[in-house]
Chain A
Amino acid sequence: GAGVSQTPSNKVTEKGKYVELRCDPISGHTALYWYRQSLGQGPEFLIYFQGTGAADDSGLPNDRFFAVRPEGSVSTLKIQRTERGDSAVYLCASSRHSNYGYTFGSGTRLTVV
């Protein structure tokens, strides 16, 4: 597609439930990133994929968070046993190997009630 697509755009879930957030990057972009953004703050790094492998997952806050990119294109961020503190906008971005600068999707707003 022309841009980075994230689904759903909004997700409300109950505390303790499992959620999956999907990111469809720009075709041909080998690098994919997940960030989390709280209201009025800058995005916070979660994980970076180069191809199918997670090259850097140092930003994942704990083992309830996991992300996959099995075919080197679409990625899914998975959150188990959600907590109210997980509420935020989850942003996905992609980039070509040789470029600086990311193209972001519009994000998924996750609300845990």
Chain B
Amino acid sequence: TQLLEQSPQFLSIQEGENLTVYCNSSSVFSSLQWYRQEPGEGPVLLVTVVTGGEVKKLKRLTFQFGDARKDSSLHITAAQPGDTGLYLCAGGGYQKVTFGTGTKLQVIP
């Protein structure tokens, strides 16, 4: 079974601060996805990374896939209250994706 551990589990920060969330595994993944989930909703896909060492940017969010394709990070610059939510990494391919344990982020105005 492929396991994805996320850290930290909880994060509460002030608006304007920067933060990084980590996603680690002992398994190699063909691709890795990041989702954000708000209460009462399903996860929403933010990005997919497929190449080791790949870096993708989405406005204030920067995603990196580890060289060995076993880990990933999500960095948020100047966090906004709208960034509040549960951040999930998910590894695998088309047929089945394994989700991480999640990082619950709260951005305080």
Is A62 engaged at the interface, CB distance under 8 Å to the other chain? no
**Residue pair A43, B99 in contact (C-beta under 8 Å):** yes
- Please provide the chain B residues from 27 to 48 with a CB less than 8 Å away from any CB of chain A in the complex: 31, 33, 40-45, 48
**Tier of interface size on chain B:** 20 to 34
Q: Which residues of A lie under 8 Å from residue B86 when comparing CB positions? A: 40
**Residue pair A45, B102 in contact (C-beta under 8 Å):** no
**Residue pair B42, A104 in contact (C-beta under 8 Å):** yes
Residue from B41, B94, B95, B101 with most neighbouring chain A CB atoms (10 Å) = B94
Q: Name A100's contact: one of B31, B41, B102 (CB within 8 Å).
A: B31
Per-residue B-contact encoding for A1-37, CB less than 8 Å = 1, 0 else: 0001000000000000000000000000001010100
Is A111 engaged at the interface, CB distance under 8 Å to the other chain? no
Is A110 engaged at the interface, CB distance under 8 Å to the other chain? no
**Residue pair B101, A41 in contact (C-beta under 8 Å):** yes
**Residue pair B42, A107 in contact (C-beta under 8 Å):** yes
**Residue pair B97, A102 in contact (C-beta under 8 Å):** yes
Is B50 engaged at the interface, CB distance under 8 Å to the other chain? yes
- Please provide the chain B residues from 88 to 102 with a CB less than 8 Å away from any CB of chain A in the complex: 88, 90, 93-102
Is A106 engaged at the interface, CB distance under 8 Å to the other chain? yes
Q: With both chains docked as a complex, state the minimum distance between the C-beta of A58 and any C-beta of chain B, in angstroms.
A: 8
Q: With both chains docked as a complex, state the minimum distance between the C-beta of B86 and any C-beta of chain A, in angstroms.
A: 8
Known: A100-B31, A100-B50, A101-B48. A106 touches B95 (CB 8 A): no
Known: A42-B88, A106-B41, A106-B42. A31 touches B99 (CB 8 A): no
Is A103 engaged at the interface, CB distance under 8 Å to the other chain? yes
B interface, CB within 8 angstroms of A: 4, 6, 31, 33, 40-45, 48, 50, 86, 88, 90, 93-102, 104
A interface, CB within 8 angstroms of B: 4, 31, 33, 35, 40-45, 48, 50, 55-56, 91, 93, 95, 97-107
| Listed A/B pairs (6) with beta-carbon separation below 8 Å | A42-B88, A42-B100, A42-B102, A45-B99, A100-B93, A103-B45
